[in-house]
């Protein structure tokens, strides 16, 4: 037999995984919709001119490029061909690529449809993206992103709603022990100012973002190499290591930032967001200020979010923040300040598996299998199948005449929770045997009683 | 500004389209699940070795091929490079491609997971596919397929359930005037036998499949070129042109097929399927026998289905049939006879637009916008937004302090059906103004009354 395989870093999702993934996606989608976000889908294929240069040099390398159709070498430069120069030849033989994230396609959509879109524009998008990364545990070449963004307003209501949405989503998913870490670009800039980082701001952010992973000493070493002196460093770690509640930390910083305008703005925004959450009738449980949070800082200009599920060895499962001008990558002149949040479906899946918290309904199985002992029972079973379906109960009739053992095995392997057994006695009386597979309990019931039992057990 | 565009033959789906597409997909998905089909997703990217040779030469040309990552020319044959030979170079620089349909990936999945799958395996799959076809009206390079298949049983219950599923799906979609055309490979073979087509069987099928489009005279011309004589042709058209109910047609053929074993098997299967539909408690309204239906005949070995919506200028919106051995393309030895149905989402969308039958709930808009006249009203509005969301009502608060006219315009453009207006009076009394945008009606209501009004209007 021909050996078949999947490309490295790609996966099939069979029924069991799909049911769980759909549970996650549907839960999050419902929350997005409840907060007024509208769905968008963009094509998997984009022009390379749209993608290239948007993700840095490394990102450009990781784009999957699509070979032009037909005689793609026809107009290729002879010299590049003879030299075997892959780099120079690429743009001549490939015009399209697979999307690398959902943000750039979203920006392109906004630019192309800016006259039709009503701003503020709240969109969500849940689609796969592709990266020619080296596959490893938890890192795939094809994976889903799940983003919600509002563009066209700088209202901090959006930040507060992101916190509320995260909480709503996690409640639907049944995840209770998690932290929403928040920082603000202004606070980071304030920190850089007061410790005198000057031009070295970004080196500072890169280093402290690693604090979690490499620890204080290594961060210090790295910063010394970037010409931070001991006085800078001691001031820095005095601030980073300040312990206390979010409120205490913020009060401490507010004092320190009396000379930093950026720092003050950060504190003000941060406090405003927390107070808006309370204005919505919510609370700030799970919310933690984290001054060392510095993800995506080349992009984010206001609040920065990151969500971690506690007690599982999985990185952040959600993240986002405010950015200044979404469409700047396309040189668009409109002000399109926005704020976005992204949920990592794969990591949430892994965490929920580890915590064993997928609910019973996250199953792709039918609810009932109808089994039959002879041809008359089979014929009788057809009607029963349809009666169940009319009540929106997912039901199957075993399609072949087969030994009852084989039919039961089918239900068992497919984790179908209820089996109806029909034999000549059942056909005669209309009283059927219902077997609950989990317990093995059997009862003799009318079809109406069966429907009631199943609906109340769903 | 940089000019941005979409690749030819690809589309964005904005919120309005997405809501309608999701309505279609969710309706069909629900039916699939009710009949015991389970979800599967396979990656967009497949190894070219999986795809090539499965769709004929033309299909191979239409595969989107992905350029290998890194220095893809490193191991390329120098001669092929210097010759600029695209065809010979392709396999050296491209190992992966985008899936062309959902059937081959499904077959690959079955082969790779045959020891874990419980047969009969009922799977549905709703994902995009890609074809480097020349784009034209209604034909795209990226489009969704929506398939359900059962493999591992030859039971005609599956065929009957396909008819029931089509009817259920169309009922959910609100499409009432349509025809489910059915033919059988055995009946076509019987026809070929009785008119003496001999070796020319496939030329006959290709020609009669075009009857709809090119008419009787052109079909005759085409067949004369393939050495069909006048006697053959007159016998053929006597049969094709036989008028009457499905039952009459079948009775007429049953007589003609007294010497054709294949023809008899076809008639028997066909009658059995119709009688199983009735056994399920259904009826055969909408079902029409169509002897000229010969789609996908290199593949189908039993019943063939095609669904057309009447009174719209759109081709078939659904089709499928029974095949003998799904995994034969991979040389798998297992018997995996199966039967499948595929719904054309894009065409169903176009037909429903033309018929103007999308229901009100196929909208991506929020149900309510909360507008506010001053800061105190805005703050009050936050709590109202959250109260609505707690009742699963999709609500937004206009995020900025803006003139009421601008806020109303936002609701109007986004087709949000209800607007709550909050001013100082409302804050004082807790009695809010609810405006129904469609009629312009305004009422003064408590939040509980508003919730009741909205829930009963949904």
Contacts B332 to A, Cβ<8 Å? 1
User: What token pair was written down for A404?
Assistant: 């009852």
CB within 8 Å of B326: residues ≥ 6 apart = B103, B106, B107, B110, B149, B151, B336, B337, B338
Q: What is the DSSP letter of B117?
A: P
Locus of tokens 């709603």? A161
Distance CA A294, CA A305 (A): 9
Mean pLDDT of chain A: 94
Q: How far is B219 from chain A (nearest CA, A)?
A: 33
Pairing of β A338-343 and β A142-151: antiparallel
Distance CA B122, CA B148 (A): 7
Contact of A337 with A324, CB cutoff 8 Å: yes
Q: Give the residue ranges of DSSP H helices in B146-241.
A: 157-173, 185-194, 201-209, 211-225, 230-240
| Nearest residue of chain A to residue B126 (CA atoms) | A18
Distance CA A422, CA A378 (A): 8
Contact of A206 with A293, CB cutoff 8 Å: no
Q: How far is B187 from chain A (nearest CA, A)?
A: 24
- pLDDT (tens digit per residue) in B392-436: 999 999 999 999 999 999 999 999 999 999 999 999 999 999 999
CB within 8 Å of A293: residues ≥ 6 apart = A181, A182, A183, A209, A304, A306
Distance CA B93, CA A76 (A): 15
Distance CA B378, CA B371 (A): 8
| B86 to A65: CB separation less than 8 angstroms, yes or no | no
- Which of B54, B86, B334 to mutate to probe the A interface, most A CBs <10 Å? B86
Q: What is the DSSP letter of B143?
A: E
pLDDT at A2 over 60: no
User: What token pair was written down for A418?
Assistant: 């209820």
CB within 8 Å of A226: residues ≥ 6 apart = A200, A203, A204, A207
Helix (H) or strand (E) holding B421: strand B418-422
| B153 to A113: CB separation less than 8 angstroms, yes or no | no
Distance CA B263, CA B268 (A): 9
User: What token pair was written down for B162?
Assistant: 């396909």
Contact of A267 with A253, CB cutoff 8 Å: yes
pLDDT of residue A209: 87
| A12 to B109: CB separation less than 8 angstroms, yes or no | yes
- pLDDT (tens digit per residue) in B296-343: 667 899 999 999 999 999 889 999 999 988 888 887 776 689 999 999
Average pLDDT over residues A392-409: 96
User: What token pair was written down for B273?
Assistant: 């399927």
- pLDDT (tens digit per residue) in A127-173: 999 999 998 888 899 999 999 999 999 999 999 999 999 999 999 99
pLDDT of residue B2: 57
What is the edge-to-edge ordering of all strands in the sheet holding A338-343?
Answer: A38-39, A121-130, A142-151, A338-343, A318-323, A300-309, A178-184, A287-289
Name the least confident of A27-36, A254-263, A397-406, B296-305: B296-305
Q: How far is B375 from chain A (nearest CA, A)?
A: 12
Distance CA B13, CA B144 (A): 12
pLDDT at A297 over 80: no
Burial zone of A156 (CB within 10 Å; 0-12 exposed, 13-18 middle, 19+ buried): buried
- pLDDT (tens digit per residue) in A379-389: 999 999 999 99
CB within 8 Å of A12: residues ≥ 6 apart = A6, B40, B41, B42, B43, B109, B112, B113
Q: How far apart are the first and last CA of chain B?
A: 43
Band of the pLDDT at B444, cuts 50, 70, 90?
Answer: very high
pLDDT of residue A296: 67
Contacts B82 to A, Cβ<8 Å? 81-82
List residues bridging with A422 in a β-sheet: A372
- pLDDT (tens digit per residue) in B129-162: 999 999 888 889 999 999 999 999 999 999 999 9
Contact of A335 with A325, CB cutoff 8 Å: yes
Question: Measured between alpha carbons, how far is residue A189 from residues A218, A250, A266, A357 in Å?
Answer: 22, 15, 9, 40
- Nearest in space to B205 (alpha carbons), one of B192, B220, B218, B186: B192
The SS3 assignment for B39 reads strand
| Nearest residue of chain A to residue B22 (CA atoms) | A39
- pLDDT (tens digit per residue) in B216-249: 999 999 999 998 999 999 999 999 999 999 999 9
- pTM of this structure: 0.95
- Which of B20, B63, B69 to mutate to probe the A interface, most A CBs <10 Å? B69
Mean pLDDT of chain B: 94
Average pLDDT over residues B176-194: 95
Neighbours of A87 (CB within 10 A): 10
Distance CA A219, CA A241 (A): 13
| Nearest residue of chain B to residue A388 (CA atoms) | B34
The SS3 assignment for B309 reads strand
Distance CA A46, CA B142 (A): 11
| B45 to A64: CB separation less than 8 angstroms, yes or no | yes
Average pLDDT over residues A333-362: 92
User: What token pair was written down for B348?
Assistant: 């169903």
Helix (H) or strand (E) holding B378: helix B375-390
Pairing of β A300-309 and β A318-323: antiparallel
pLDDT of residue B296: 67
pLDDT of residue A330: 87
Contact of A357 with A174, CB cutoff 8 Å: yes
User: What token pair was written down for B69?
Assistant: 């990552």
Pairing of β B300-309 and β B96-98: unpaired
What is the edge-to-edge ordering of all strands in the sheet holding B45-47?
Answer: A45-47, A96-98, A65-66, B65-66, B96-98, B45-47
Q: For B11, phi and psi rounded to 5 degrees?
A: -140, 150
Contact of A456 with A391, CB cutoff 8 Å: no
Q: How far is B208 from chain A (nearest CA, A)?
A: 32
User: Please, which contacts does B250-256 make with residues 24 or more away whose CB atoms are closer than 8 Å?
Assistant: B250/B289, B253/B187, B253/B190, B253/B191, B253/B291, B256/B190, B256/B194
Give percent of chain A above pLDDT 90: 83
Distance CA A340, CA A146 (A): 11
pLDDT at A76 over 60: yes
Longest dimension (CA), chain B: 92
- Which of B37, B38, B121 to mutate to probe the A interface, most A CBs <10 Å? B38
ipTM for this prediction: 0.94
| B38 to A46: CB separation less than 8 angstroms, yes or no | no
Burial zone of B405 (CB within 10 Å; 0-12 exposed, 13-18 middle, 19+ buried): exposed
Cα Rg, chain B, nearest whole Å: 28
Distance CA B220, CA B230 (A): 9
- pLDDT (tens digit per residue) in B58-101: 999 999 999 999 999 988 888 888 888 999 999 999 999 999 99
pLDDT of residue A224: 93
Give percent of chain B above pLDDT 90: 83
Distance CA B432, CA B395 (A): 15
Distance CA B41, CA A414 (A): 18
């Amino acid at each position: 037999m021909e050996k078949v395989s999947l490309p490295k870093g790609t996966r099939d999702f069979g029924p069991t995984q799909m049911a769980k993934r759909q549970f996650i996606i549907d839960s999050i989608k419902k929350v997005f919709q409840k907060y007024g976000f509208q769905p968008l889908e963009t094509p998997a294929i984009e022009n390379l001119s749209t993608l290239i240069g948007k993700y840095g040099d490394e990102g450009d390398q990781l784009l999957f490029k699509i070979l032009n159709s037909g005689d793609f070498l026809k107009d290729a430069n002879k010299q590049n061909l003879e030299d075997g120069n892959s780099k120079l030849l690429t743009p001549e033989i490939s015009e399209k690529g697979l999307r690398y994230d959902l943000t750039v396609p979203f920006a392109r959509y906004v630019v192309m449809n800016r006259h039709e879109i009503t701003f503020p524009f709240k969109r969500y998008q849940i689609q796969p993206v592709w990266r020619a990364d080296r596959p490893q545990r938890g890192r795939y070449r094809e994976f889903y992103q799940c983003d919600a963004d509002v563009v066209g307003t700088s209202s901090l209501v959006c930040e507060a709603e992101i916190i509320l949405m995260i909480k709503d989503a996690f409640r639907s998913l049944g995840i209770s022990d998690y932290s929403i870490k928040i920082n603000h670009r202004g606070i980071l800039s304030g920190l850089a100012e007061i410790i005198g980082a000057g031009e070295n701001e970004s080196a500072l952010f890169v280093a402290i973002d690693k604090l979690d992973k490499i620890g204080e000493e290594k961060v210090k070493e790295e910063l010394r190499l970037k010409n931070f002196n001991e006085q800078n460093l001691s001031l820095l770690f005095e601030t980073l290591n300040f312990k206390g509640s979010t409120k205490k930390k913020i009060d401490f910083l507010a004092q320190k930032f009396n000379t930093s305008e950026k720092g003050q703005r950060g504190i003000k925004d941060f406090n405003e967001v927390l107070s808006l959450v309370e204005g919505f009738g919510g609370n700030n449980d799970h919310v933690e200020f984290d001054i060392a949070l510095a993800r995506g800082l080349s992009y984010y200009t206001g609040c920065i979010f990151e969500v971690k599920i506690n007690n599982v060895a999985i990185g952040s499962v959600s993240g986002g923040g405010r950015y200044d001008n979404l469409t700047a990558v396309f040189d668009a002149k409109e002000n399109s300040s926005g704020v976005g949040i992204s949920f990592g479906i794969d990591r949430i899946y892994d965490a929920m598996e580890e915590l064993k918290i997928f609910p019973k309904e996250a199953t792709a199985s039918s609810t009932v299998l109808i089994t039959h002992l002879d041809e008359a029972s089979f014929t009788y079973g057809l009607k029963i199948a349809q009666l169940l379906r009319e009540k929106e109960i997912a039901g199957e009739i075993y399609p072949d005449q087969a030994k009852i053992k084989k039919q039961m095995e089918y239900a068992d392997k497919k984790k179908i929770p209820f089996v109806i057994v029909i034999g000549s006695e059942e056909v005669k009386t209309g009283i059927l045997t219902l077997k609950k597979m989990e317990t093995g309990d059997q009862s003799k019931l009318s079809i109406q009683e069966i429907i009631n039992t199943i609906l109340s057990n769903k």
